[in-house]
Amino acid sequence: MENKVALVTGSAKGLGKKTALALAELGCNVVVNFVHSKTEADDLVKVIKDMGVKSTAIQADVSKFEQLQNMILQIEEQFSGVDILVNNAGPYIHERKLFYDYSLEEMNYLVHGNFLSVMQLDHLVLPNMRKKKWGRIIHFGFGLAAESRGWPHRAVYAAAKVGLVSFTKTLSVEEAEYGITVNMICPGDIRGQNKEKEIKDVETVYDEKSPRGRSGTGEDVSRVITFLCQPQSDFITGNIMDISGGLDPIRPFR
């Protein structure tokens, strides 16, 4: 994986940060993307550089196409373009409410940030991947998104992610001949500090809400992503993978 360039959106903190570090451990040069967390992004870049690979932090709001374009131009100028794209960033409204109560602004925010902007960023990196005959694209969904189930009080977010499921499967077929794989990972209910923890940090702590009996961590997610990004994983594409410990986000385990 040496000299592969990985872009992880929303990677200053949380699952994105854990993924960025995991890809750096494989030898990838890593682009850290952030919107507001400049201090955290700069600190992460220093850590990654200490691992012996190149890294830079670029500020860009993934919901704004002009900023996406500018980010890709900067990466092409500093590196050789994007080889691995991890679409981690995606807006989420924590308040649970009926679809009837959503404002038009909230609908546009969720659909654009979780669906259209992902398609746009994919479109921007594909020319370089096609040229090199190699690429890895990772999308993020939610648990059991592939089943296209209704999710009361999360109607807009769920619709955007389920649309992304179909797009993931379509793009994986269209780009397979160019050595590009496209997969979606669907993390379970991983919250707070657990997003940056390793499995060993939680494996002895019982979580009664999880069928597995422990909480999920950032390592649970990043280890799947790094597996999908390796050269030998070129036969694995178009898959929607739940990383949830068996938890159903719509009908919680009791």
Which segments of the chain have a pLDDT < 50? none
Q: Which residue has the tokens 């178009």?
A: 238
What pLDDT, in 10s, does the model give residues 110-123? 999 999 999 999 99
Looking at residue 70, what is its pLDDT? 97
Task: Give the percent of the chain with pLDDT over 90.
Answer: 78
Looking at residue 252, what is its pLDDT? 61
Looking at residue 28, what is its pLDDT? 97
Domain architecture of the chain: domains with CATH: 5-243 (3.40.50.720)
Looking at residue 254, what is its pLDDT? 55
Can you give the pTM of this predicted structure?
Answer: 0.94
* Cα dist from 21 to 13, 52, 154, 203, whole Å: 11, 12, 31, 21
Looking at residue 249, what is its pLDDT? 79
Looking at residue 97, what is its pLDDT? 92
Q: Are 224 and 243 in contact, with CB atoms under 8 Å apart?
A: yes
